[in-house]
Structure 1
Amino acid sequence: MELDRRLLLAHCAAHALSIAAGLLVVVPMALNGSAFKGRCALFSTGYWRTEDREELTGQPGDVSHLVVQQWGPPAACQFATFVGIFTVLYGAAQGWRSLFYLHGRHDDTLFSSFLTVLLSVCVLFLSGGASVILSLGLNSWCDTVTDHNIQPYSCAESQSVPLYLDVNTSSFYTDPFVPQASLWSVTALWLAQSILAVLRLYHSHSQHISGPCRPREKELLLGHSLSDSGSPTPPHPPGLHYSGNAL
């Protein structure tokens, strides 16, 4: 198997994995947005307050509940969702191109390979930025829910604790955590794809440089063979000639 074919197969596999990871970003973020009624939990601020249970549940006694002072900016959740959607669409387009090149047994041109490297690096930084924003936003939300680790339960365990908010909090940690892990996976995949794109660019550059030299080498070889065939044959050594009347 040639080098360019191995690179194309590796690129196809990386694009397929990026599509799956992108779907694991889009679907949970959509579910989280539906459960929170369009609000973004990332970077939300709030505090815990103890009030009369009767005001909240209609039963006597005191109860602690979470008070959200300010919900997070919607752009934080929308940016992660956008990166997931873009990863799915772009990965599908690039994966189809790689399969087309595998079927046609040819690769990108030198300019197309350069554009692929440039786009791969841009998407790498885009997915890396979304991963950092989602991780920081989830940590901020967990600090609010656990009251900076004062509460006797972790952020994941607090999903089963009633927060007495007007949104569905049964999976408020799982829904952002899965996209967080998927976005970091997408970042690692785009790093691998950037390296593969650089290798394909190097291979295209090598083919572009060595391509014009091959006809010239053929001409030189043909000219050398023609000169060899047109050279005079060396004379045979003189022999003794006997006449019929010698005896």
Structure 2
Amino acid sequence: MELDRRLLLAHCAVHALSIAAGLLVVVPMALNGSAFKGRCALFTTGYWRTDSRAEAPEQPGDVSQLLVQQWGPLATCQFATFVGIFSVLYGAAQGWRCLFYLHGRHDDTLFSSFLTVLLSVCVLFLSGGASVLLSLGLASWCDTVTDYNTRPFSCAESQSVPLYLDVDTSSFYTELNLAQVSLWGVTALWLAQSILAFLRLYHSHRQHISGPCLPREKEFLLGHSPSESGSSPSPPHPPVTPTILV
């Protein structure tokens, strides 16, 4: 198996994993957005308030509820979702191209390989930024929900605690945590794609340089130059002596 074929197989595997990881980002974020009625839980600020409900016989004692001061910026959730969608679409397109190249036994051109490296590096930084934003946003939301760890429950356990919000919070931690882990996986896969794309560019560059030199090397090994093999010198003609007629 040649080197370019191994690189193509590895790139196909990474693209397939990118599709799966991208779906694991898009689906939980879509479910969370639907449960929160289009709002973004990331970087949401609020505080807990305790109300006295002793007059209500069905709910005696004090009841604590979470009051949201400001919901998180919607662009943060949309950015993470965009990276997941792009990973799915790009992975599907490039995976099909890799299978096509494996069937045709050829690879990208030098210019196309350079564009692939450039795009992979750019999306690597985008996915890394989205991962950092999602992790920080989830940590901020967990601080709000647990009142900076002063509540008797953790962020994961707060799913089963009534927060008395007008949104469904029964599975927010599972959805956002799954999206966070998957998005970091997408970032790692984009790093692998960048490395593989660079190796394919290097391999194409070597083939581009060594391609025109192969005929010259063959001529050198045969012991004659192309100018010598093209035409052989003709033997010199004998001098012509003038003849005098009498």
Unaligned ranges ≥5, structure 1: 231-247
Matched ranges for 1:68-217 at <5 A: 68-217=68-217
Separation in structure 2 between the aligned mates of residue 131 and residue 56 of structure 1, nearest angstrom: 45
Q: Name the count of aligned residue pairs.
A: 228
Relative to structure 1, the CA distance from residue 108 to residue 54 in structure 2 (aligned partners, 3 Å threshold; closer, same or farther) is farther
Separation in structure 1 between the aligned mates of residue 56 and residue 29 of structure 2, nearest angstrom: 29
Instruction: Give the SS at the match of 2:41.
Output: strand
Instruction: Give the SS at the match of 1:24.
Output: helix
Deviation at 1:56, TM superposition (A): 9.4
| Residue matched to 2:36 | 36
| Residue matched to 1:59 | 59
Instruction: Give the SS at the match of 2:43.
Output: strand
Matched ranges for 1:224-239 at <5 A: 224=224
Separation in structure 1 between the aligned mates of residue 57 and residue 44 of structure 2, nearest angstrom: 25
Separation in structure 2 between the aligned mates of residue 78 and residue 56 of structure 1, nearest angstrom: 42
Instruction: Give the SS at the match of 1:164.
Output: coil
Point out the more displaced range, 218-227 or 32-41.
218-227
Q: TM-score, normalised by structure 2?
A: 0.88
Q: TM-score, normalised by structure 1?
A: 0.88
| Residue matched to 1:21 | 21
| Residue matched to 1:241 | none
Deviation at 1:215, TM superposition (A): 1.7
Separation in structure 1 between the aligned mates of residue 94 and residue 12 of structure 2, nearest angstrom: 8
Instruction: Give the SS at the match of 1:173.
Output: helix
Relative to structure 1, the CA distance from residue 133 to residue 13 in structure 2 (aligned partners, 3 Å threshold; closer, same or farther) is same
1:200 counterpart letter in structure 2 = R
Relative to structure 1, the CA distance from residue 9 to residue 40 in structure 2 (aligned partners, 3 Å threshold; closer, same or farther) is same
Separation in structure 1 between the aligned mates of residue 170 and residue 217 of structure 2, nearest angstrom: 72
Deviation at 1:58, TM superposition (A): 6.0
Relative to structure 1, the CA distance from residue 27 to residue 50 in structure 2 (aligned partners, 3 Å threshold; closer, same or farther) is same
Instruction: Give the SS at the match of 2:70.
Output: strand
1:22 counterpart letter in structure 2 = G
Unaligned ranges ≥5, structure 2: 233-246
What per-residue deviation string (whole Å, max 9, x for no partner) do you get for residues 143-180 of structure 1? 00000000111100111111011100001111111110
1:131 counterpart letter in structure 2 = S
Relative to structure 1, the CA distance from residue 87 to residue 27 in structure 2 (aligned partners, 3 Å threshold; closer, same or farther) is same
Instruction: Give the SS at the match of 1:212.
Output: helix
| Residue matched to 2:239 | none
Percent of matched pairs sharing the same residue: 85
| Residue matched to 1:240 | none
Separation in structure 1 between the aligned mates of residue 91 and residue 56 of structure 2, nearest angstrom: 48
Separation in structure 2 between the aligned mates of residue 181 and residue 38 of structure 1, nearest angstrom: 22
